[in-house]
Structure 1
Amino acid sequence: MADRYSDAPFLRFVDAWVLKAIGHLDKATEEYCVAMVPHLERSFGLRGSWDEIVAQRMDFDAGLAARIQAIWTEGKARFEEANGRPAEPVQFAMIFVDRNFSNI
């Protein structure tokens, strides 16, 4: 996974934002994101929590997290029914980001 972020470090935060939106952000990643707030603020000249900075930087509208949650919930059920195994939230987040936010 380190290779995914080597040329695009902000991508880590966008992936984390999507994981948070679907309720699957792990504690270690959340702690990392929180610790990086001062760096994000300096880098982008924005203020707020890490997820607020990501939303501002990416120009996400207020309803996007709820829409992503709905996509995850619907897609998860279909995936699990079709494949007989649990859907993987990290994989979902990465695919969602790659398909929808190519401007990172």
Structure 2
Amino acid sequence: MSRYEGRPLLRLVDCWVLDAIEQLDDTKRETLEALEPRLAQTFLATGTWQEIVAGQMGFADDVPDMVRHFWRRYLDHAETENLRVDPQAFVVEFVAQNFPAIAPPKR
């Protein structure tokens, strides 16, 4: 089973977190921007794709800052331990820990 099977909002949340830490690639960003009208219709919402996802998740205004704070801690830890930085691994762990309803932690 793929990470996103049966979890349509999860892919959007993962992209939202990647965008918050400035690690979303341009191709995905352009695709999401092109999907804004469809997302707005699907979720009966207005705004950018980021605003629509944040609204669906009920994110407070400070959530992007919180994500960036944890990302900086992750980068500091990786540097201290001489580990490879993997933005996608960070996203998977961050989302599982903070939003288990849409992405339960791996056991």
Shift of 1:41: 1.0
CA RMSD of aligned residues (A): 1.5
Which stretch has the larger CA shift, 28-37 or 54-63? 28-37
1:77 aligns to 2:94 (yes or no): no
Q: Tell me, which stretches of 5 or more residues in structure 1 are unaligned?
A: none
1:103 aligns to 2:106 (yes or no): no
| AA at the equivalent of 1:18 | V
Distance across 2 between alignment mates of 1:59 and 1:8: 17
Report the equivalent of 2:87.
89
Distance across 2 between alignment mates of 1:36 and 1:6: 19
Q: What number of residue pairs does the alignment pair up? A: 102
Once the two structures are aligned, what percentage of the paired residues are identical? 35
Report 1:1-104 matches (<5 A). 3-82=2-81, 84-104=82-102
Shift of 1:70: 1.0
Shift of 1:30: 0.7
TM-score by length of 2: 0.86
Deviation sequence 1:42-82 (CA, Å, 0-9, x none): 11101110000001010001111011101110121112321
| AA at the equivalent of 1:49 | T
Report the equivalent of 2:105.
none
Q: Which has the higher contact order (CA 8 A, sep 6+)?
A: 1
Task: Give the 3-state SS of the residue equivalent to 1:5 in structure 2.
Answer: coil
Distance across 2 between alignment mates of 1:11 and 1:3: 11
Distance across 2 between alignment mates of 1:11 and 1:35: 18
Bigger helix share? 1
Distance across 2 between alignment mates of 1:36 and 1:7: 20
Q: Which runs of 4+ in 1 moved over 3 A?
A: none
Shift of 1:22: 0.9
TM-score by length of 1: 0.89
Does structure 1 retain, via aligned residues, the 8 Å contact 2:74–2:90? no
